[in-house]
Structure 1
Amino acid sequence: MQRDAGRIGLLEDDPIMGESLVQRLSLEGHKVQWWTRGEDAVRGLSSSTADFDLVICDIRLPDMDGEDVFRQSCRETTTPFLFMSGYGDIDQAVRLMRSGAVDFITKPFDMATLLDRIASSLRSSSGSSIDGELGISPSMRQVEMVLRRYASHTLPVLIQGETGTGKEVCARFLHQASARPTAPFMAVNCAAIPAELLESELFGHEKGAFTGAHQLHRGYTERAGDGILFLDEIGDMPLPLQVKLLRLIEDGHFHRLGSEKPIPFKARIVCATHQEIEDESRSAFRQDLYFRLSALPINLHPLRDRPEDVLWLAQRFLEEITEVRDTPVRGISALAEDAMLEHQWPGNARELRNRLERAAALSENTLLMPIDLFPEKRVAFVAPPVETLSEARDAAERRQILRVLTMTNGQISRAARHLGVSRTTLWEKMTRFGIESSARPEN
């Protein structure tokens, strides 16, 4: 497997391991700077000549903690950190990932695994591997990068965001990016199953366990195997079941109802919620369970805060809809695109898809018009609000920038060329119009 080479800083105080890592990384084509003390690493990373693509850092060092090295270095550089942790340091390593570290690997590890993690971290830091499978806005590209990073671990993941933002889509993306994409993905909506049935559905039951239990039933937890158990709307899980879920995570096994035989639990838990379950004053959710489930967190922004994704999602949804539906619709008119960019999307991506499905089913036109997507706004389309020339010009510029960003898959340089302006000018306009951008203007 061909891997990209980079300039790597290595902070490891063990002379045998350090020398072994330097030799192997050098053979792989990387240029390695090795430090044995945290103070030396901080100095080296803050140097004006420092230009590292990745830092591999041990957590336990003779003179200072690896976390201190990371936090001090963050003041001077944005170089990504990959931490090497012992089993006793996993909680700290997880906290570091939540603070911005790119990854961690648990000792002892085999070299092939480390090399794969390094390759993934180098690609993630450069952004070259983020193709925009979940969206083209900077926030969704960041979510995709983090999910790819999380895919190599087995810790629980908690995805939070408004209803309709795509939490299950992200969970399935995480599953496909993992090392076991063909393993089961068992999705359970905790709000859709009556509370009195949820325990049996989750953990299963033996024949005769209760009235009506006429045969053995394997629950979602058992059927998930070594794949993913996805618990949607986890905030609606009854308190008694929250206790049992916490026990499942801590013990690594469960019992079917009516049985005393423990069954090992091998799946990874991924949860989603639109509620603020971390806030005890607003939620009846157990805080000890929340901290277990949120080891690796993801927060999804609402669609109104990432307008770059509106037309991109609309095109993908419409392609999927027209593949399975007999409809004359083949595209979206410019007027309909304008209407979509002006809409606030309170129902997020789910609302967008629902409007497109309804429009495709009812429209007799080749191109969807505003009235097809927003029939409730008929009067508004006939009599648009009065705007000044400056407001109208700004609105038109913003819509055109969003269209071209969709066409170029969010690439700023290509978009600037299509629009006939410099990259700096485009970036300034995007900032003025409230369009997200992770790219800085070139000097």
Structure 2
Amino acid sequence: MKPIWIVDDDQSIRFVLEKALMREDLPSRSFTNAREVLAALEAGEEGPQVLVSDIRMPGGSGLDLLTKVKEKLPGLPVIIMTAFSDLDSAVSAFQGGAFEYLPKPFDLPKAIELIRRAVEESQREEVAEQAMATAPEMLGQAPAMQDVFRAIGRLSQSNVTVMITGESGTGKELVARALHKHSPRANGPFVAINTAAIPKDLLESELFGHERGAFTGAQTMRRGRFEQAEGGTLFLDEIGDMPFDLQTRLLRVLSDGHFYRVGGHNAVKANVRVIAATHQDLEQRVKEGNFREDLFHRLNVIRLRLPPLRERREDISTLARHFLQQSAKQLGVEPKRISDAALTQLSNFAFPGNVRQLENICHWLTVMAPAQSIEPKDLPPEVVPGNADATLAARPAVLAAIAAPAADAPPAGNGKSMPASWEAGLEAEALELLLAGRHDVWEALSKRFESRLILTALANTRGRRIEAAQKLGIGRNTITRKIQELGLE
């Protein structure tokens, strides 16, 4: 094992730590200042397992050393010691990526326990880094994911149409990109479109393009996604939501390889491989008459099912470490480590939002976890047993509390009780939606908030809209429009 490096200008501190580490069979090496440490690293010496440094020394502070060492050894756990137990020093240490902060005078057994924790973390990170270095572009050791990888390999020399199924957040687009990357069309473009995210009256133009003057606002000819994907791959996400009349046009393209731009009269040849994806049961939608059976069979040549994260729990630790590294890189901060206990906690969570939710949680932890090492107490509320249930149980009452005062809340100026913590409930609801990967949180919660306000005001005025508008402080035209928009008629 690599030694623990101790950096302190106080000889007694170095001596005490050296002897204590020796009793624990932990090798150590001491330095009197930061310059000696940097010189050793510059000379090409192997770095330490853990660095324990004083914060105030002649010839360079421990925080400066922390910054320079992290540039060379970003995964190295660094423990900062100081006799100045002030908040500024602690914040500076953690912002610089310190593993832990140790105030002097310290209890020696606790200091050794902290160093041993840092050693274990360092060794675990070394194993994780080796795994990451050899990890494929998609991560997963679970048997179900290995089946997906094998299928991608078998399809690598094929242009066949593929249907990817799986719950939202399982990574369907990632699989589509892998299929493209390992196909004969890899040098061509990969173009993705979410058919559920584009209004019906615009989707046709988005897919097939339009000619100049085809409709109001079409001032120039525009190439659609099929033309943009020429020679490559077109990924049609959420294909189950495609309008029925457009399904007919798509079937025609897949059948004869030609299409017409909106407003056009000349056929355009489509040299495109189509990969479709859906979280819906297309067979059921066919039975209900919402999806064309002939298009279903045309798309369903090869089907790949992506398992939900709850069916591949053995991958959660690898994915979590990967996303923590990824989030830190995006935010320009030091990657945080996650303890085995926190990983166990994550592995027991159901993840209704699947891999996307895990990614969002890791991004949240990168920003919000107070220390460099993530412990179970640092995980967001919905991951901790009991908290998620409490949040879900509170959901129906979150916004209802605005209109239904809490019985034990202090009376307001008008003598009525006011809700004590509906803001906290609203915050919990918003966080749950955000971590589930929703992209309409503002709209969804705003509509519910406005609906509850208007209904409460109307109940208070016995349905008199003008009076309700006056009490709410909005115009009568506004309340009429809102009633229509929110479906409160």
Find 1:297's aligned residue among 285, 303, 314: 303
Tell me the CA shift for residue 130 of structure 1: 10
Which residue of 2 is the match for residue 195 of structure 1?
200
Deviations 1:154-209 (A, max 9, x none): 12100000111110010001111112323111100000000000000000001111
User: Which portions of structure 1, spanning 4 or more consecutive aligned residues, are displaced by more than 6 angstroms?
Assistant: none
Matched letter for residue 338 of structure 1: T
Give me the whole-angstrom Cα distance separating, in 2, the residues matched to 1:371 and 1:261. Answer: 64
Find 1:245's aligned residue among 239, 250, 253: 250
Tell me the CA shift for residue 284 of structure 1: 1.1
Find 1:327's aligned residue among 309, 333, 357: 333
Which residue of 2 is the match for residue 210 of structure 1?
215
The 3 A distance-change label for structure 1 pair 378 and 242 is closer
Say whether the 8 Å CA contact 1:276–1:282 is kept in structure 2. Answer: no
The 3 A distance-change label for structure 1 pair 214 and 362 is same
Query: Is residue 306 of structure 1 aligned with residue 307 of structure 2?
Result: no
Say whether the 8 Å CA contact 2:329–2:335 is kept in structure 1. Answer: no
Say whether the 8 Å CA contact 1:232–1:273 is kept in structure 2. Answer: yes
The 3 A distance-change label for structure 1 pair 130 and 145 is farther
Say whether the 8 Å CA contact 2:158–2:184 is kept in structure 1. Answer: no
Find 2:179's aligned residue among 152, 163, 174: 174
Deviations 1:301-347 (A, max 9, x none): 11101111111111211111111213344211122101111111111
Tell me the CA shift for residue 133 of structure 1: 3.3
Comparing 345-354 with 368-377, greater Cα deviation is found at 368-377
User: Which structure is larger by alpha-carbon Rg, 1 or 2?
Assistant: 2
Find 1:318's aligned residue among 290, 311, 324: 324
Query: Is residue 145 of structure 1 aligned with residue 147 of structure 2?
Result: no
Give me the whole-angstrom Cα distance separating, in 1, the residues matched to 2:229 and 2:304. Answer: 22
Percentage of pairs with the same residue: 43
Which residue of 1 is the match for residue 50 of structure 2?
none
SS at 1:278's partner residue? helix
Say whether the 8 Å CA contact 2:325–2:335 is kept in structure 1. Answer: no
Matched letter for residue 148 of structure 1: G
Give me the whole-angstrom Cα distance separating, in 2, the residues matched to 1:166 and 1:378. Answer: 25
Matched letter for residue 324 of structure 1: Q
Tell me the CA shift for residue 380 of structure 1: 4.1
Tell me the CA shift for residue 238 of structure 1: 0.1
The 3 A distance-change label for structure 1 pair 223 and 337 is same
Structure 2 length-normalised TM: 0.50
Query: Is residue 254 of structure 1 aligned with residue 264 of structure 2?
Result: no
Say whether the 8 Å CA contact 2:260–2:267 is kept in structure 1. Answer: yes
The 3 A distance-change label for structure 1 pair 379 and 300 is closer
Find 2:234's aligned residue among 229, 254, 261: 229
Find 1:350's aligned residue among 335, 356, 361: 356
Deviations 1:192-251 (A, max 9, x none): 000000000000001111111011110001000111000000000000000000000111
Deviations 1:364-383 (A, max 9, x none): 310122233322456748xx
SS at 2:321's partner residue? helix
Give me the whole-angstrom Cα distance separating, in 2, the residues matched to 1:205 and 1:198. Answer: 11
Tell me the CA shift for residue 149 of structure 1: 1.2
Tell me the CA shift for residue 152 of structure 1: 1.4
Which residue of 2 is the match for residue 39 of structure 1?
none
Give me the whole-angstrom Cα distance separating, in 2, the residues matched to 1:365 and 1:357. Answer: 14
Deviations 1:264-294 (A, max 9, x none): 1001000000000022335611111000001
Structure 1 length-normalised TM: 0.55
Say whether the 8 Å CA contact 1:235–1:275 is kept in structure 2. Answer: yes
Give me the whole-angstrom Cα distance separating, in 2, the residues matched to 1:365 and 1:203. Answer: 51
Which residue of 1 is the match for residue 276 of structure 2?
271
Give me the whole-angstrom Cα distance separating, in 2, the residues matched to 1:307 and 1:282. Answer: 34
- Superposed counterparts of 1:414-429, under 5 Å: none
Which residue of 2 is the match for residue 415 of structure 1?
none
SS at 2:203's partner residue? helix
Which residue of 2 is the match for residue 155 of structure 1?
160
Give me the whole-angstrom Cα distance separating, in 2, the residues matched to 1:155 and 1:328. Answer: 43
Give me the whole-angstrom Cα distance separating, in 2, the residues matched to 1:356 and 1:341. Answer: 13
Give me the whole-angstrom Cα distance separating, in 2, the residues matched to 1:132 and 1:191. Answer: 27
Comparing 132-141 with 294-303, greater Cα deviation is found at 132-141
Say whether the 8 Å CA contact 1:207–1:214 is kept in structure 2. Answer: yes
SS at 1:230's partner residue? strand
Give me the whole-angstrom Cα distance separating, in 2, the residues matched to 1:130 and 1:295. Answer: 30
SS at 2:276's partner residue? strand
Note the residue ranges of structure 1 that are not aligned, 5 or more in a row. 1-128, 382-443
Say whether the 8 Å CA contact 1:329–1:364 is kept in structure 2. Answer: no
Matched letter for residue 158 of structure 2: H
Find 1:133's aligned residue among 125, 128, 138: 138
Say whether the 8 Å CA contact 2:328–2:335 is kept in structure 1. Answer: yes
Give me the whole-angstrom Cα distance separating, in 1, the residues matched to 2:363 and 2:190. Answer: 26
Give me the whole-angstrom Cα distance separating, in 2, the residues matched to 1:285 and 1:379. Answer: 40
